Chains A and B, each alone.
Chain A
Amino acid sequence: MSPRGRGALGWWGLILPAFLLLTAFYLAPIIQVLAISVTEPRPGFGNYERLFTSESVQRVVFTTLRIGAVTTVIALLLGYVLAYRIAMAGPKAQRWWLLAVLVPLWISVLVRAFAWVTLLRRQGLVNEGLLAIGAIDEPLPLVWNEFGIIVGMVHYMVPYAVLPMLSAMREIDPRVLAAARGLGASRGAAFLRVFLPLSMPGVIAAAVLVFIFSLGFYITPALLGGGKTLMAAEWIKLQILDLIRWGLGAMMATVLVVAILATLAVFSRLVNLRRLFGAGG
């Protein structure tokens, strides 16, 4: 073996304990749980068949995907505007902007959901305000429906959308914009044909991050949905803890894991995923 090969082996040896630890205490139990999906109530793929035959399973999958997609789009739009504004601000202003983006991240998801309830309910601030100025006659149904869920989820996800996009925008050399303008592009054209394409890796990274997070939401839909919207995470809890249909619950968990891994696999070919985990830039 070449000295170089031996050295590499040594490095691999160093991560061996961590690898074994992860396998024994993380991967193995997860696989054990996911395996229940093909062993209960009887061995076979009966639980997976329900993906194609059961309307209720399909509804949960589609509801989860739909809410995840809508949340992602809105969070990206809001996040892009914010990230753009931050990237263009002076260094001192940037720090304040970033603080404003990060502070909500430190507030518990429960507190934020309840805050939205207080604002959006029938006798909440928004409805009372609109009634008082005569804009509406009847309180608007702003919560206990999908609208409320999406408001809550977008609010939660915007910081996660801003950060990867901001890091991508910071990498863009401001001189290319100046060059575009110098070559006769209008402000709009310079943005659309130069800045936007250059920021796309950040947009895709943010989309992947937000979408994957959205698939697993539990508390926000449970609190703001008024019981009428069921997403995958809550559905799994229902099957495992209350209905003791572990096979079905494990099936949905497997589908969720596979969906997330597939999303990651597809997009890892498009963007540098390390950016997601803070190694970007």
Chain B
Amino acid sequence: MSQSFHEDCAELARRATDRGALPRRTALKALAILGLLPAAGGVARAQRSKDLVISNWGGLANEGFTRNYGAPFEAANPGFKVSMNSTGPSAGRIKSMVDSGAVTWDLCDSSASSSRVLGKSNLISRIDYNVVKKSDVISEAFALEYGAAPYSFSSVLAYDSAKFPNGGPQNWADFFDTRRFPGTRLLRRDALAVLDAAQMALGKDPAKLYPLDARACLAKIKEIRRNAVFWNSGSESEQFMRTGEAVMGIIWHTRAKVLEDESKGRIKFTWNQGLLQAGIFVIPRGNPGGADAQRLLASMLANPEPQVELLRFLGNGPTNPRAAALVPQELKRFNPTDPANAAQQVTLDGNWWGDNYTELNQEVIDIITG
């Protein structure tokens, strides 16, 4: 895997605030109205506080998570202090921490496939669904055995409409059809979402996508690899589209939104057949906060308002079933879990990917670099 989605979100939001597109105060004010900012923290400070650490990928995720994940929990549970660490909890770092017995993180911003891989190696704890409520997420895919998702994101088809005056590509079959839609493709240098798109292009019913026919999907990638460039980080994907290196791409919805805004609608994206993914948080085995990490995760899933704030702030989609209705009208179009958008997408099967990721990712990389 290259740069992860969460890493990328933070970077995007930082850029937005730098430009002044997203006033920092908006989020603060909204939270104050919602009563989610701890008044002065007086009560908490008086008692001896219990610390919980969320490990994220840095940048504005620190700010976004502190306000929207940490603060609501602190407000509801006096005596707790939630802090952030932004060294980036890649699967390898979690393993080295647990192996060495010096775990300093309670919750890590990971992924569905990593949670499965780490879980099978006994490096992270099972989610306790007596504490975390499955009814707090819109679907099973967001509450897995070894992790649960307080946010969502999507890998969507974006294209430069100026290159296709007679109408752009609308699904993955179009994406892989270089005769009807000539031009360089942009794919992530990763198996996740890329093979799923290939499977849809092969005509399999999106509703019954899994298990993927890996051989056929890999062959499909092989077909277009000469006609494609590959991105590692979100900013790279944006750059490839912006500078016209590629005419269409599979990119994260957050980047697609930026491109659409910036190009005044010339670069468009469609939710159709997009791959809805879960922003899975995991609890490393032997975490310092013990079972309290489960309570923190439960609170992150249970509060829809902060999730909507995070959509505004970082672009991450909410996962709480009550959140979509709270999203303001102008943001609905960019919310991956808005019912209208979600209906067009396919939810990526994190469990299937967890069992197959390591091997298939290697094969995808072999094909791309071959």
Chain A residues engaging chain B, CB cutoff 8 angstroms: 55-56, 59, 63, 121-123, 144, 222, 226-230, 238, 240-246
Contacts and interface: CB of A to CB of B under 8 A. Distances in A.
B361 interface: yes
Nearest to A144: B229
Contacts of B362: 56, 243
B57 to A, nearest CB: 12
Contact of B95 (A63, A228, A244): A244
B369 A144 contact: no
B189 A227 contact: yes
B370 A122 contact: no
Interface of B: 1-2, 90-93, 95, 117-118, 121, 189, 225, 229-232, 243-245, 357-358, 361-362, 365-366, 368-370
A141 B225 CA distance: 15
B244 A123 contact: yes
A122 B232 contact: no
A243 B358 CA distance: 6
Nearest to A114: B239
Which of A123, A228, A246 has most B Cβ within 10 Å? A228
B28 to A, nearest CB: 33
Nearest to B90: A241
Given A243-B361, A244-B121, A227 B230 contact: yes
A92 B71 CA distance: 65
Contacts, number: 63
Given A241-B90, A241-B93, A244-B91, A63 B232 contact: no
A226 B186 CA distance: 10
Contacts of A242: 1-2, 90-92, 361
A166 B118 CA distance: 53
Say what secondary structure dominates the interface of chain A. Answer: loop
Which of B90, B230, B365 has most A Cβ within 10 Å? B365
Nearest to B189: A227
Contacts of A229: 369
A55 B366 contact: yes
Given A228-B230, A244-B117, A63 B92 contact: no
Contact of B365 (A55, A121, A144, A238): A238
Nearest to B244: A123
A227 B368 contact: yes
B368 A240 contact: no
Ordered nearest first, which 4 A-B pairs have the shortest CB separation? A227-B230, A241-B92, A227-B189, A242-B1
Contact of B370 (A59, A121, A226, A241): A59
A214 to B, nearest CB: 18
Contacts of B368: 227-228
A227 B230 CA distance: 5
A228 B369 contact: yes
Nearest to B368: A228
A122 B245 contact: yes
Contacts of B358: 243-245
Contacts of B230: 226-228
A229 B369 CA distance: 5
A55 B361 CA distance: 15
A243 B366 CA distance: 14
B244 A122 contact: yes
Nearest to B366: A56
Contacts of B91: 241-244
B280 to A, nearest CB: 15
A121 B243 contact: yes
B245 A227 contact: no
